[in-house]
Structure 1
């Protein structure tokens, strides 16, 4: 079960993902921020999506920056160069012409303080061995709970790739090198929405950093900020990017704060008490 945590300079930056919907869940703790406590009703089409698929899908979800296995810098760079132009297709969506995440695969690259970065939607045939190696790193497995043979990671990925497009698993490619795993998902259509006052088009992120050489030097924070702003640039209907790191994971929470997220509330999720972190479009130039 993946996580939502990001680490700044800690050795580990886990993330936390919601698992299967196994029963009633505690209600979210209200934020002291009045904007986040508005009693907003989700549109009927969002509710309908929940009803039909809540039990079938693991909400991809909630985490950002767990860290993974230590592959050598530069590993497997060749076939990923230029992937901004030749990205794998985005997962199928609910209906023709209705892309729930505005075609992540076509977002292209973005300049960051640490290099040129882009999100490449996962292709199982190409990426499964690499993602499996990352998930089997003990530091990652403790939070994502996806260690084991390739079939374990494959099942997790297929739930998203064969779904309706509300969650898109991606490799994070930095200067031509795949070095992180991301899940960009519709938080308002996810099981997470049962635990906080979701707004239409809220977009969530989960992240793990795949190489030991890339950990513990603030890379997670730099990429979190860049990706959150990239989401806001490419999804004009989205006003907030959210994440839910484990409240006990101080390095992860700190990384989100460094990336321009604000702490909004504590929420009780099935597997943890989480810090709801929010990056607001309206505040992006101030934080």
Structure 2
């Protein structure tokens, strides 16, 4: 089930009702058909379907044909497991998935490296299910989080949310946020322009979305959400030169979350109706990053 969102300070859980990058409930063809549609607002841009998305569809069809052939021949597929634990600073991307042409759809989140923040050194570390599942599941079962992410329950509920992203084409990367060597938040960095979200706002190529959940109660309610949102938005803009905007869509009723985004340099762009909420479309523009 796709998450909704919680306060970036009270819970710091920012997410979407229409897909987290794994897109379990929407077809790629339907999302692509609406890609580039918009209004006459200042964010509108007439687009053609990106070449990389067209190629991605073709690759997906070829992969589906190959999978069908394997199934007919009786071939099975298992999940690999790592050997031993790595330190947080030595973690690598558990997915080697690449877009057509060899380009990572998110420009290698695992290689983005640390960033200095007023709260300390922060780094996004891609999730490894065998190492991180229990921790993320515990956060998802926090009563303050449950109502927004809708992922409460046993570990298999959380695992079913993580695995499609990890096994997908690389358009969504679930990560732990590690602050001063301690994992303390859960993030999803995703290609908003390749997500079903794209049909609900005037999308631009390489728009990048973020979802955030701060895990520990002691880390909430003291402005840390805004600090980390600004830091991660800066990482996206620095590491993804083709991306001109960072996107988020907190629930419009979630005033603390919207306030956190505004404090992090995002601007309120519009109200958008998503399948399970009315959201505030928040945008951080590359062109305004030094002004907000």
User: Which TM class, normalised by the smaller chain length?
Assistant: 0.7 to 0.9
- Report 1:108-119 matches (<5 A): 108-119=113-124
Normalising by structure 1, what TM-score? 0.82
Shift of 1:41: 3.0
CA distance in 2, matches of 1:48, 1:6: 37
Which of 209, 216, 224 aligns to 1:219? It is 224
CA distance in 2, matches of 1:212, 1:51: 45
Structure 2 residue ranges without an equivalent (≥5): 61-84
Query: Which structure carries more helix by proportion?
Result: 2
**Quick check: 1:80–1:176 contact (8 Å CA) kept in 2?**
no
Q: Deviations over 1:244-275 (max 9, x none)?
A: 00111111001000000001111111111111
Which of 42, 46, 52 aligns to 1:39? It is 46
| Change in CA separation of 1:221 and 1:6 when aligned onto 2, cut-off 3 Å | farther
Q: Deviations over 1:169-193 (max 9, x none)?
A: 0000000000000000000001101
Aligned-CA RMSD value: 2.6
CA distance in 2, matches of 1:226, 1:31: 30
Residue 25 of structure 2 is matched in structure 1 by: 21
CA distance in 2, matches of 1:243, 1:50: 25
Moved over 4 A (4+): 22-25, 27-33, 47-53, 79-82
CA distance in 2, matches of 1:88, 1:43: 26
Shift of 1:2: 1.8
| Change in CA separation of 1:51 and 1:136 when aligned onto 2, cut-off 3 Å | farther
Determine whether 1:142 maps to 2:147: yes
**Quick check: 2:121–2:179 contact (8 Å CA) kept in 1?**
yes
**Quick check: 2:15–2:210 contact (8 Å CA) kept in 1?**
no
> Which structure has the bigger radius of gyration?
2
Normalising by structure 2, what TM-score? 0.80
Q: Deviations over 1:72-109 (max 9, x none)?
A: xxxxxxx77551x4334345234462210011001110
Residue 249 of structure 2 is matched in structure 1 by: 244
Shift of 1:6: 4.3
**Quick check: 1:81–1:177 contact (8 Å CA) kept in 2?**
no
Determine whether 1:193 maps to 2:201: no
Residue 7 of structure 1 is matched in structure 2 by: 8
CA distance in 1, matches of 2:153, 2:59: 30
Shift of 1:210: 0.3
| Change in CA separation of 1:189 and 1:161 when aligned onto 2, cut-off 3 Å | same
| Change in CA separation of 1:224 and 1:51 when aligned onto 2, cut-off 3 Å | farther
Residue 101 of structure 1 is matched in structure 2 by: 106
